[in-house]
Amino acid sequence: MQHDRTKEGRRNSIPAIFQESSQKIAADIAKQFLTQDIRMIGLGSGPMAAEVVREISKLPLKEHLQCITTSTQTKLEAEEANLKIVDEGFLTELEVFFDGADQIDGNRNMIKGERGALLKEKILHSAAKNVIIMAESTKYVKSFNRAVPIEVHPFARCVVQKKLEALGGHPELRTVGDYVYVTENGNLILDTGFVSIADVRKKEVELKNIAGVVEVGLFTKHANIYYKANEDGSFEKILG
């Protein structure tokens, strides 16, 4: 897929009706969570995270920040903003991790992985003292109604697919056009629909225990704060 590095092209990935509220969220995050005491931060994937990167680029303290990114896309955004990128060898504990979500249910569980970075996102989510999640209001739902991305080692594709079907799942191999989608980790993604998920935490563990599954797009560790972008340009902050 072609990467559009123009500012207008990137912002268009956020629905126009949410652009104002998304920019306000990014500004509030920079004001509230980026202080002189913060040194190591994690940057997730997607347009909401990109808004935060652009806001960080305006801060004088950006010279003191070390950033770990979850995808090449985010890394390009951060490089363009002249942020200092460090590799995973520096990762032991993050002070704060900023990320988006594909869906957030009524119990604050999340589905993530639409952009294929679920493995690194879950690692940074686990390593961070504080996790800040941003999403449009349409992504807040009572219960999940979209497929769960499951990252799978290529050697295990057929085996995992069969086991997912046995668990009541409907896995589909992710493709981009006529090509199989390959993650930055060299793995495949099976987008797997379930009629319902009664216990999200139990399902996360059950899926992760399948041999060949690298990571699951169910995130049951709650964030510290969830930001909700509203259509009228306002936003809400929800404690995790």
Q: Would you say 67 and 117 are in contact if contact means Cβ atoms under 8 Å apart?
A: no
Task: Looking at the structure, tell me whether residues 83 and 98 fall in a common domain.
Answer: yes
Task: Looking at the structure, tell me whether residues 210 and 112 fall in a common domain.
Answer: no
pLDDT classification of 111: cutoffs 50, 70, 90: very high
Q: Is the pLDDT of residue 1 over 50?
A: no
Task: Looking at the structure, tell me whether residues 88 and 28 fall in a common domain.
Answer: yes
What is the reported pLDDT for 4? Answer: 35
pTM assigned to the model: 0.89
Domain with 204 in it: what CATH number?
3.30.70.260
- How is residue 123 written in tokens? 């690692």
**Maximum CA extent, the chain:** 54
Rg (CA), the chain: 18
Q: What is the pLDDT of residues 17-60, one digit of tens each?
A: 999 999 999 999 988 888 768 888 999 998 888 999 999 988 88
| pLDDT > 70 fraction of the chain, expressed in percent and rounded | 95
Q: Among this protein's residues, is 121 annotated catalytic?
A: yes
Q: Has residue 12 been placed in a domain?
A: yes
Task: Looking at the structure, tell me whether residues 82 and 187 fall in a common domain.
Answer: no
Q: How many domains does the structure of the chain reveal? A: 2
Task: Looking at the structure, tell me whether residues 120 and 163 fall in a common domain.
Answer: no
Task: Looking at the structure, tell me whether residues 109 and 55 fall in a common domain.
Answer: yes
Q: For 142-160, what is the mean pLDDT? A: 98
Phi-psi region of 233 (alpha: psi -120 to 50; beta: other; left: phi over 0): left
Q: For 57-85, what is the mean pLDDT? A: 90
Catalytic residue, chosen from 51, 77, 121, 204, is 121
Q: Is the pLDDT of residue 112 over 50?
A: yes
Q: Would you say 148 and 194 are in contact if contact means Cβ atoms under 8 Å apart?
A: yes
Task: Looking at the structure, tell me whether residues 83 and 29 fall in a common domain.
Answer: yes
Q: For 146-168, what is the mean pLDDT? A: 98
Q: Is the pLDDT of residue 178 over 60?
A: yes
Task: Looking at the structure, tell me whether residues 152 and 74 fall in a common domain.
Answer: no
Q: Three-class SS of residue 193? A: strand
Q: For 183-191, what is the mean pLDDT? A: 97
CA–CA dist 55, 115 (Å, integer): 22
Domain with 116 in it: what CATH number?
3.40.50.1360
Domain span including residue 11:
7-141+221-239
Q: Has residue 1 been placed in a domain?
A: no
Task: Looking at the structure, tell me whether residues 176 and 104 fall in a common domain.
Answer: no
Task: Looking at the structure, tell me whether residues 42 and 157 fall in a common domain.
Answer: no
